[in-house]
Amino acid sequence: MIQFLDFYADWCGPCKAMSPVIEELEKDFAGKMEIKKINVDSDSTNVSRYSVMSIPTYIVLKDGQEVERFIGAQPKETIVSKIVQHIS
């Protein structure tokens, strides 16, 4: 199963705008992908570990390795097209 890391902050406008899209992805890929929401204000360890410099940032991990990264608000179709490449 792949992991989808969602780096966000409660005060971030684009993060809030993407929230419904992330919720849809969670439903669409249930059982195939785990979504982990990471608040950049309270999880500096993962922010540093993944070198996140701006938000929203979305990272797709397969077998623990980064295979995709998106920065900023993205259309759902763009995210889905990248995710499906890594689901086996």
pLDDT tens string 58-75: 999 999 999 999 999 999
**How many other C-beta atoms can be found within 10 angstroms of the C-beta atom of residue 27?**
7
Q: What pLDDT, on a 0 to 100 scale, did the predictor assign at position 1?
A: 87
Amino acid at 86: H
Residues with a known catalytic role: 12, 15
pLDDT at 88 over 80: no
Average per-residue pLDDT for the chain: 96
Task: Find the helix packing angle between 13-28 and 76-84, rounded to 10°.
Answer: 50
Q: What pLDDT, on a 0 to 100 scale, did the predictor assign at position 46?
A: 97
- Residue boundaries of the structural domains of the chain: 2-84
Q: Is 82 exposed, middle or buried (CB count within 10 Å of its CB: 0-12, 13-18, 19+)?
A: middle
Q: Using CA of residue 16, residue 18, residue 20, residue 25, what is the dihedral sign? A: negative
CATH topology of domain 2-84: Glutaredoxin (3.40.30)
pLDDT tens string 6-32: 999 999 999 999 999 999 999 999 999
Please say whether the beta carbons of 68 and 2 come within 8 A. no
**Considering the entire predicted model, what is its pTM?**
0.94
